[in-house]
Amino acid sequence: MLRCRLYIAGRLVPEGICNQKGDGVMHPHPVVIFDIITFLACLTALVFLCKSSIHAKQHRTQLLFSGLLVFTLLCYSFCLILEWSRVTSRLDILENFIGVLAPMWWAFVFYAFLKEITEKNLRESEARLYELFDEAPIGYHELDTEGRITHINKTELKMLGYKYEEMLGRPVWEFVIEEETSRQAVIDKLSGAIPPGQALERTLRQKNGNTLPVLCEDRLLHDDFGNITGIRSTIQNISKRKQAEYDREQLMETLASKNKELESILYVTSHDLRAPLVNIQGFSHELSLSCEQVRSALRDRKKSADTDEKLQTALNKDIPEALGFITNSASRMESLLSGLLRLSRLGTAALNIESLDMNTLLADVTKSTEYQIKQAGATVKVEPLPPCRGDSSQINQVFTNILNNALKYLDDTRPGMIRVYAKAEYRRNVYCVEDNGVGIAPDHKEKIFEIFYRLEPDKKHGEGLGLTIVKHILERHNGNIRVESKPGVGSKFFISLPSV
Amino acid sequence: MNKEGVILIAEDDEGHFELIKRTLQRAGVCNEILRFADGQETLDFLFIKGDGLKREPNREYLLLLDIRMPKIDGIEVLEKIKQDPNLKKIPVVMLTTTDDPVTIERCHDLGCSVYIVKPVEYEDFTDAVHKIGLFLSVVEIPQVSGFK
């Protein structure tokens, strides 16, 4: 027993110290303490082993080790019990056996202790990493060689609204809108045909059917031999960025269209204002030519017989004609400038948006245009209209202009019929002013809203501003206007305005 | 251009037409002059459509074309003329108040013969029209045959 204990204690114990008194009673002896310590060490080793087998996957060697340890402990306890109870003192074979194993167990206790510390640290850092993986602000997933999801973090699950089990094992392209493209790309990446994607924009399909724009970054996973074993991807939600991009595009479009409109106003205005100037200058000169003629005719009065005729022509035809052109051009310029001013004031006038009873409004409009309606011999029929939101005086102007326009372009060959009705759409009301007038050729449909555009300037009065004003007012009301027309049949103007 | 040739003036502004006509006549051009008040009338005449005057086959024509006109504008008229294998032989002089470089380039691309900006100054204007008169006296204009 002594030899064994020497091993167990891990140091040599002088033989003299081991006194076994003759009375046969077991006295406390330092070696006994070593016995107990050794026993406890073995027990600790067993606990460590058991604990590590809970955390780690059970290995066969570890099982074998545990079994052996249990066996040693049992033998050892058996020995101690036997010895202390003094049943026998001849257990040399067993003692020798344990003695050989004991240092190994000591080494193992030390090893297990260190291992436990390392594993604890490892587990902690793993937990931290996992938390980071799961709670990171970007989505992570890993794919196997078949493109199936093997790992996915909570962020990505939350992004798509799926549960872990619902996504695990499914091919990643099943969650991508561009399914076929994505499938081909994943397969090519896994086969090494194309490099992993950097800053790839994809649209993912959420569980509720919505779509989510994301930015993907891929990294290939390799085994020790350099073979591709999968892909690890990060997924970034870029819906806010996309929304901002979309808003920016919308803004750019609006800006571009406004700019174009401004350019066209400038172009048209410069042309239309210049045209009367050409006349004023031209006919002023014609006038001076006529004056010259008059003067020379008067000078040569006695010499020439046709003087009177020349004078007559100049005074009765040329001069009044030139004056006519000059005054007309001047008043045309005046009307163009005042039209421009009206249009510009329209853009700055404050809007008083309120709920509008369209039936009352249309009654006011038809009442104020009663004279024109009677003149045109037309019938205006207003059906019950739903209310909308707008500035009462400006919306009144819209319908007055459209009604005037319809009256102006009625077909003389049939009695004029104008009908106003409405249709409710999603959060909007579309009012329609339908006439049976001359209609508009498809080519002119857009032009009629252009500033100063007139279809028949020789036949109809006007500045060519009515519909331009209508369009401007509606734009400020977040509404719009479009026209459907068949030449010879009639036109329908659709005015869309926000509903109450 | 011989004396039989007809000068077509597509011009919505009557005053401008009068000024052009008078200046041409003072420059010694005594060809027949026809006015069209808009693009539609011009096309109807050239493509022999509608109720108005119609183009006669085998006559010489020259077109002075304004751009901003009601119904169909001058650029569209020019485009349609130049697309037609027969009518494209007609020399087209753009005579307009628009001096926008983009428009000028577009007209040249479409195949106009000359582009003249109507100057506001009277002398410049008559000078420009006078030059058209000179141009008319030297230019050889192909006859335009009728349609099948």
The mean pLDDT of A425-445, rounded to a whole number, is 89
Mean pLDDT computed over every residue of chain B: 84
Phi, psi (deg, nearest 5) at residue A480: -155, 170
- pLDDT tens-digit map of A315-363: 888 888 888 889 888 888 888 888 888 888 887 788 899 999 999 999 9
Out of A274, A443, A457, whose CB is closest to B120?
A274
Out of B37, B70, B97, whose CB is closest to A275?
B97
The strand pairing partners of A390, in sequence order, are: A354
Confidence of residue A16 (pLDDT cuts 50, 70, 90): very low
A189 and A263 part of one domain: no
Chain A CB contacts of B76 under 8 Å are 443
Residue A156 lies in a domain: yes
**Chain A: closest CA distance from residue B117 (Å):** 11
pLDDT value of residue A14? 40
A153 and A88 part of one domain: no
**CB atoms A272 and B12 under 8 Å:** no
A358 and A333 part of one domain: no
- Dist. CA A224–CA A222, nearest whole Å: 7
Look at the alpha carbons of A192, A197, A201, A203 in this order and tell me if their dihedral is positive or negative.
Answer: positive
**CB atoms B97 and A271 under 8 Å:** yes
Total tally of structural domains belonging to chain A: 4
A287 and A369 part of one domain: no
A301 and A362 part of one domain: no
**Chain A: closest CA distance from residue B12 (Å):** 9
Chain A CB contacts of B127 under 8 Å are none
**Chain A: closest CA distance from residue B23 (Å):** 10
**Chain A: closest CA distance from residue B60 (Å):** 29
Residue A163 lies in a domain: yes
Chain A CB contacts of B96 under 8 Å are 271
Q: Tell me the domain boundaries of chain B.
A: 6-138
**CB atoms B15 and A456 under 8 Å:** no
Residue A243 lies in a domain: no
A371 and A492 part of one domain: yes
A407 and A279 part of one domain: no
Q: Are B67 and B74 in contact (CB under 8 A)?
A: yes
Q: Residue A289 belongs to what domain range? A: 248-348
Last residue of a domain, one of A77, A105, A133: A133
Last residue of a domain, one of A84, A101, A133: A133
A254 and A231 part of one domain: no
A326 and A433 part of one domain: no
**CB atoms A275 and B70 under 8 Å:** no
A364 and A461 part of one domain: yes
- pLDDT tens-digit map of B93-137: 898 888 888 888 999 999 988 888 887 777 777 787 777 777 777
Residue A190 lies in a domain: yes
**CB atoms A279 and B125 under 8 Å:** no
Residue A242 lies in a domain: no
Phi, psi (deg, nearest 5) at residue A418: -125, 130
- pLDDT tens-digit map of A283-326: 888 888 888 888 887 877 666 667 777 788 888 888 888 888 89
Domain B6-138: state its class. alpha beta
**Dihedral (Cα; A249, A254, A256, A262), 10-degree rounding:** -170
Residue A298 lies in a domain: yes
- Dist. CA A58–CA A423, nearest whole Å: 74
Radius of gyration of chain B (CA): 14
Residue A68 lies in a domain: yes
Q: Hey, how many other C-beta atoms are within 10 angstroms of the C-beta on B99?
A: 14
**CB atoms A281 and B100 under 8 Å:** no
Last residue of a domain, one of A185, A204, A237: A237
CATH number at residue A192: 3.30.450.20
Residue A75 lies in a domain: yes
A474's tokens: 């509606």
The pTM is what?
A: 0.57
**CB atoms A268 and B68 under 8 Å:** yes
